Amino acid sequence: MTENAVSLNRLDTEFITQVEHVSGENLSYCYQCGKCTAGCPIAHTVTDTPNRIIRMAQLGLKQRALSSSTIWLCLSCVTCTARCPKGVDLARIMDALRELALAEGHARKAPNARLFEELFLDSILQYGRLYELGAIGRYNLQSGQPFHDLELALPLFKRGKLSFQPHKIKNIDQIRQIFKLYR
């Protein structure tokens, strides 16, 4: 029987318990409405959408969940969590899956994931929030693909989802204090 075929007598309940323990979330609260995926800014670029990832965890599909590139590509923007009608913190579950994947020795499947993480955090440090155009522009240049996904920019500008200018938050010093604690 393959891992894709799930039966109640072969359900990996230990993995389900691990994910729930590490994340602090109850996986059974998710009823697969798909609102997390509908709001996810990277859902169109990944094979395993957020609701599929949580379903893998619910079914105990450990190897599939921990080897999915989606857990590494997740932006941790918390849109999925904000949209969940049951209050499931999918961003925490993604964090837990990354933690478990590292513990199991699963390598990151996303090329340049560390570079992306660094640029993301640099943007937060500089502006107090993500400056998408700046972060992705720097990522594309530093990863050697300056025009990657350029065709996506115009529709995002038209819909007001992308801005040419960064927006700094008020009290940015508080954000910088947090960074000082952890860097």
Name the domain boundary from 103, 128, 155.
103
Give me Rg for the CA atoms of the chain. 18
State residue 109's pLDDT score. Answer: 54
Q: Are 98 and 124 part of one and the same domain?
A: no
* Residues with Cβ within 8 Å of residue 104, at least 6 apart in sequence: 66
pLDDT tens series, the chain, 183 aa: 455 555 555 678 999 999 999 999 999 999 999 999 999 988 888 889 999 999 999 999 999 999 998 998 888 888 999 999 999 999 999 999 999 998 888 766 557 777 888 898 899 999 998 898 898 899 999 989 898 878 878 887 887 878 889 988 899 999 888 888 876
Give, for 180, the enclosing helix (H) or strand (E): helix 172-182
Q: Are 68 and 117 part of one and the same domain?
A: no
Provide the domain count of the chain.
2
Q: Is residue 1 part of a domain?
A: no
Q: Are 97 and 24 part of one and the same domain?
A: yes
Q: Is residue 87 part of a domain?
A: yes
Digit-coded pLDDT (tens) for 145-177 = 898 878 878 887 887 878 889 988 899 999 888
Give, for 91, the enclosing helix (H) or strand (E): helix 90-103
Task: Provide the residue range defining the domain that includes 93.
Answer: 8-103
Q: Are 97 and 124 part of one and the same domain?
A: no
State residue 110's pLDDT score. Answer: 57
CA distance 165 to 52: 34
Q: Are 46 and 93 part of one and the same domain?
A: yes
CATH of the domain at 96: 1.10.1060.10
Q: Are 58 and 77 part of one and the same domain?
A: yes
Q: Are 99 and 55 part of one and the same domain?
A: yes
Q: Are 12 and 82 part of one and the same domain?
A: yes
Q: Are 56 and 68 in contact (CB under 8 A)?
A: yes
Q: Are 23 and 90 part of one and the same domain?
A: yes
Name the domain boundary from 40, 73, 103.
103
State residue 162's pLDDT score. Answer: 82
State residue 153's pLDDT score. Answer: 80
